[in-house]
Amino acid sequence: MNTTYINDLNNQTTINNIDYTPPKVWEPVADNGGKFTSINRPTAGARHEQTLPVGEQPLQLYSLNTPNGIKVNILLEELAELGVEGAGYDAYKIDIMELDQFGSDFVAINPNSKIPALVDYSDKQNPVRLFESGAILMYLAEKFDKFAPDTSDKQKYADYLSWSMWQMASAPYVGGGFGHFFNYAPYPMQYPIDRFTMETKRQLDVLDQHLAKREYMLGDGEDYYSIVDMLIWPWYGRLALDESYERAGEFLQVDQYTHLQRWAKQIAQRPAVKRAVELELTPLH
């Protein structure tokens, strides 16, 4: 196999196998220099015993302030802002670089070993385990009857489902695709950066065109502010405000998405959102 030596952005010499031919059977690479290589394995399940703390509040959040984590923080803080009874929570930090997501208690809540995860102890005899940020937001919004439409307005309810699913399906192209290859890969590779930049800009345009015609994702006025906005803002709002990846704002020309910018700034000013972004999570160690 021929290897090509190139200089990456930090002027470190790295190996770029431009003429890589996949072998018959894939074998994991011990260290390819990627930021998350050391934590990845091709198998699932707990890697060590680890007991998670359980506080006094009905809701126990195990998470991190990444975009997927911030979604849940926003809803919990919006519920707190409204003084909703039973929505009190304790928040614990799952440090993914310390491999807390592979601890036995965490895996028992989320077999997929990714933050955020939440346990609802409102009924202490029958605690409810939840994972996937979209599922957590839908569960809490429906439980407290806040920030999600009921089924009486069929189109509004359909929009809520459609845009929630859109976010969950689309954001991995931004985070795992564009963000990974632009920001975390050990050296710049044009093919994946071109592919995922194209898709990320297309998605930003989808939102920009949608938000040109309405204040929030589901419509106009405070009644239409919903978990759809809370799901989308941490990924696309923060990307539009150039708060996600270094140099990404200019690279993606985010200023051109003026309606998305207007919505992103409006949501960023909400007190609950400000608190959510900076939420203090109790460390496990």
Ligand X SMILES: N[C@@H](CCC(=O)N[C@@H](CS)C(=O)NCC(=O)O)C(=O)O
Instruction: List interacting residues with ligand X (CB under 6 A).
Output: 39, 66, 68, 96, 101, 113-116, 132-133
238/3 Cα distance (integer angstroms):
37
Task: Select from 74, 73, 78 the least CA-distant residue to 222.
Answer: 78
Between 68 and 164, whose beta carbon lies closer to ligand X?
Answer: 68
Distances (CA, A) of 189 to 1, 6, 51, 68, 196: 18, 11, 41, 26, 11
User: In the complex, what is the shortest distance from the CB of residue 26 to ligand X, in angstroms, rounded to a whole number?
Assistant: 19
For residue 90, the minimal CB distance to ligand X (Å) is 19
Q: Which is nearer to ligand X, 25 or 30 (CB)?
A: 30
For residue 120, the 8-state DSSP code is E
Q: CB 131 → ligand X: shortest distance, Å? A: 7
How distant, in Å, are the alpha carbons of 128, 154, 160, 221, 265 from that of 157? 25, 5, 5, 16, 25
C-beta closer to ligand X: residue 16 or 50: 50
**With respect to ligand X, which residue has the nearer C-beta, 39 or 241?**
39
Closest alpha carbon to 64 in 35, 122, 111, 106: 106
Classify the C-alpha dihedral 114-30-170-190 as positive or negative.
positive
Nearer to ligand X, 60 or 133 (CB): 133
CB of 135 to ligand X, least distance (A): 8
Q: How far is the CB of 258 from ligand X (least distance, A)?
A: 28
